[in-house]
Amino acid sequence: MSDNAIEIRGLQKTYTARKGEAAKLALSGIDLDIPAGSVFGLLGPNGAGKSTLINILAGLVVKSAGRVTIWGFDQDVNPRQSRAAIGVMPQELNLDPFFPPRAALEVQAGLYGVPKSKRRSDDILRLVGLEDKSNAYARTLSGGMRRRLLLAKALVHHPHILVLDEPTAGVDIELRQMLWENIRRLNQQGMTIILTTHYLEEAEEMCDEIAIINEGRLVARDSTANLLGRLDAKTMIIEPDTPHTILPKADGIEVQARANGTLALTYNSSKTSAEAVLAAVHDAGIRIRDVRTEQADLEDVFLDLTRSRPLVG
């Protein structure tokens, strides 16, 4: 077992063409390492290949080429052990409506070959806040409770790695907070978490490292801090002491007058100093009542990278 929970080399997936259609290349030569014990973000626009990658890891889709190692087990050599090392919470609510939560967990544990003596269905239901619904039919559960049950089912076989595919899509704030508290707790216990999400602020807050996939290729893979550092654009927000009619002018500074009366001056910190920005404001005869700065967030990085040509892979 290396320091990586998952190692992917040259991963490709091509979906066979239907009659009258061209074959679809979903993944094109992905190389990716996911460190053990990390919370790892897997991001990309719709159709980028994220779901295909997750389904290959879960053993639900057969890859076209490449090598996948999960918790030290080569997926081709030891398929059973590699599948046992990973649990997946899918985006779709695919639950049997006639199985109560506890029975659903028992069935899932049986499918994974977990002996009855090692099953902990009640503990898992308590973890996800469903202990009082353990014998209620799944069809009577709310949408949020069904998502909790999906998380519970992903944990029945004690996986080393947990994959969360859009876990908070369409859920309320209370459930979202509960899910993240559980995820933090599981990660603190040593579980590796892989997260896909469209809520970039969640990825920015939760993830140690992030990979961005676009059009089947890996366009970035780095620590969250380093990805945020890729864009050195800063915006200085000036609140003038009095209304102004003349805008600051200087090379390398883009100025926008906002509806609330403030001025947004955007510049690249590697080329233009904050002192030069303030000097341009002064030269325009503007007295400053207040000033603050804004920096790029993960959404800015994401949009910049998915507009660009692939950097890696």
Report the 10 Å Cβ neighbour count for 290: 10
Mean of the per-residue pLDDT values of the chain: 87
Alpha-carbon distance 34 to 41, whole Å?
Answer: 10
Could you tell me the domains of the chain? 1-85+159-227+297-313 (3.40.50.300), 98-151 (no CATH), 232-295 (3.30.70.100)
Q: Which pLDDT score, from 0 to 100, does residue 230 have?
A: 67
Q: Are 13 and 27 in contact (CB under 8 A)?
A: yes
Write out pLDDT tens, residues 140-166: 888 888 888 999 999 999 999 999 988
**Which residues lie closer than 8 Å to 77 by C-beta, 6 or more apart?**
none
Alpha-carbon distance 255 to 11, whole Å?
Answer: 45
Q: Which region, left, alpha or beta, applies to residue 192 given φ > 0 means left and ψ of -120 to 50 means alpha?
A: beta
Q: Where are the beta strands (DSSP E) in 39-96?
A: 39-43, 65-70, 73-74, 86-89
3-state SS class at 109: helix
Inter-axis angle of helices 143-155 and 101-111, to 10 degrees?
30
Q: Which residue has the tokens 């609330």?
A: 260
Alpha-carbon distance 224 to 80, whole Å?
Answer: 33
Alpha-carbon distance 77 to 178, whole Å?
Answer: 38
pLDDT per residue of the chain (313 residues) written in tens, 0 to 9: 579 999 999 999 999 877 777 788 999 999 999 999 999 999 888 888 998 999 999 999 999 999 999 999 999 999 999 999 999 998 887 788 788 999 999 999 999 999 999 999 999 999 888 999 999 887 888 888 888 899 999 999 999 999 998 887 777 787 788 888 888 999 999 999 999 887 777 888 889 999 999 889 998 898 988 887 666 678 899 999 988 778 898 888 999 998 888 999 988 877 888 899 999 999 999 999 999 887 666 677 777 777 654 444 3
Q: Which pLDDT score, from 0 to 100, does residue 232 have?
A: 64
Q: Which pLDDT score, from 0 to 100, does residue 12 have?
A: 96
Residue 267 pairs in a beta bridge with 234
Tokens standing for residue 78: 């030891």
Candidates 236, 167, 152; CA nearest to 199 is 167
Write out pLDDT tens, residues 78-106: 999 999 999 999 888 778 878 899 999 99
Q: Which pLDDT score, from 0 to 100, does residue 217 have?
A: 92
DSSP 138: G
